[in-house]
């Protein structure tokens, strides 16, 4: 995880695979984002009463596109 964070800090993004104790694998994606972009990230809850409702929220798998769209705004990522 530390290596993934270091790579994200130097390049803006990193990804690695890891495994839960039951052997199921999953990808971990680490992004460096500025405060203004972080404030727009969707909350990660799936229960209806906590689910993100804002149309302005950025979903996790849309983060790469959002960073590309905002790159011209001189935002540090």
At 60, give phi and psi (nearest 5°).
-55, -45
For the chain, give every domain's residue range: 1-32, 33-72
Average pLDDT over residues 47-72: 81
**Total number of residues shown for the chain:** 77
Residue labelled with tokens 């993100």: 52
Total-model pTM: 0.64
pLDDT, position 19: 94
Q: What pLDDT band is residue 16 in, cutting at 50, 70 and 90?
A: very high
**pLDDT tens-digit readout, 29-42:** 898 888 888 888 88
Most confident of 23-27, 61-65, 67-71: 23-27
Which neighbouring-strand residues pair with 27? 17
Q: What percent of the chain has pLDDT over 70?
A: 90
């Amino acid at each position: 995880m530390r290596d993934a964070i270091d790579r994200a800090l130097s390049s803006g993004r990193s990804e690695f695979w890891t495994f839960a104790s039951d052997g199921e694998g999953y990808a971990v994606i680490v992004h460096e984002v500025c405060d203004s972009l972080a404030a727009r990230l969707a909350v990660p809850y799936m229960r209806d009463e906590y689910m993100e409702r804002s149309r302005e929220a950025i979903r996790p798998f849309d983060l790469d596109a959002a960073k590309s769209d905002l790159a011209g705004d001189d935002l540090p990522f």
